[in-house]
Structures are given as C-alpha cells and as structure tokens.
Structure 1
Amino acid sequence: MNHTYKVLQDDVEFFAAALFQVRVSVWHVQEDGQHIIDYGGPVEAYTDVSIKISGKRYFRDVFEFRAQK
C-alpha cells in the first residue's frame, strides 16, 4: 500500500522531523481500526518514553506518530 506518510519510530527519525519542522500527527492504532488523536505539528522534544508535539506529550509505546511525506 502506498502511504502519504512515514511512521516515525527511531530517535533519528524524531530528530530529523524536529530539525526540519515536519508536521507529525498522532494516531491510536488498534485491531479494529485507527483513530487520529491529534492533527499534530512539529516535534518539540522526545525522550525514550514520550514525544512532545504542540505542547502535549504522548507515550511512544501507546501511539503511532506519522510524518507527512
């Protein structure tokens, strides 16, 4: 399937997204479907546990982070 987004997973990908101010959206993906949580913005900070986007922190192990291509 051809996507218009890239799923960010590694610190290097989050660093590049922050550096280039790429819009990153936050998704909750489950077996029964996927739901957008936040239309997002640029990555402001990241740790091993969470990602900060538009002043809010999201857990890395709960959500999927998608960067526009």
Structure 2
Amino acid sequence: MNHKYKVLRSDIELFAAALSQVRVYVVQSLSEDKVEVVAYGGAVEKIMPESIKINGSYFFRNQFEFRVGVKKDSAGI
C-alpha cells in the first residue's frame, strides 16, 4: 500500500498544521529508500528554530522529517 503524505519543512507549514491540529508524525531516514517512524505523533504544540514539540516530546528539525497524511482529493496543508 502506498501512503500519500506531505513533508512539513517551513515554519508556515508547521504553523498551519498546529492551527488545524492535524496529526503530525515524525520519521527518520535510515537509508535512501527506508525510513523509520519515530513517533506516530499528534498536534504540533511548539515551533522553535531548532526543534518541534509534538505530543509532549521535542524533536530536532535537522534530524527528523515531519509528515502529515494527505487524502487523494486533498491538496494538503
């Protein structure tokens, strides 16, 4: 099964996710074609220059990727 997702990179995208209270999940790249889901996440609680707080935990922006699921008929965030 192929899941559709949008990677949240900019402060604006993260802010929009926080406002809409969508579930953001955190992944870490293991290799070019493999990723590990680190946290199935929740709403963005705090956005800082170096980290993001999601569901009570802090994640460094330069070590993780932040994703939201996208429906087929949706343009995403």
TM-score, normalised relative to structure 2: 0.82
Q: Which residue of 1 aligns with 2:61?
A: 60
**Higher share in strand:** 1
Larger Rg: 1 or 2? 2
User: What is the rounded CA distance, in whole Å, between the counterparts of 1:56 and 1:24 in structure 2?
Assistant: 12
Gapped regions of structure 2 (runs ≥ 5):
71-77
The alignment-based identity, stated in percent, is 50
Gapped regions of structure 1 (runs ≥ 5):
none
Runs of 4+ in 1 over 3 A off after TM superposition: none
TM-score, normalised relative to structure 1: 0.91
Count of residues paired in the alignment: 68
User: What is the rounded CA distance, in whole Å, between the counterparts of 1:63 and 1:20 in structure 2?
Assistant: 21
User: What is the rounded CA distance, in whole Å, between the counterparts of 2:3 and 2:49 in structure 1?
Assistant: 26
Q: Counterparts in 2 of 1:5-16, with a 5 A limit? A: 5-16=5-16
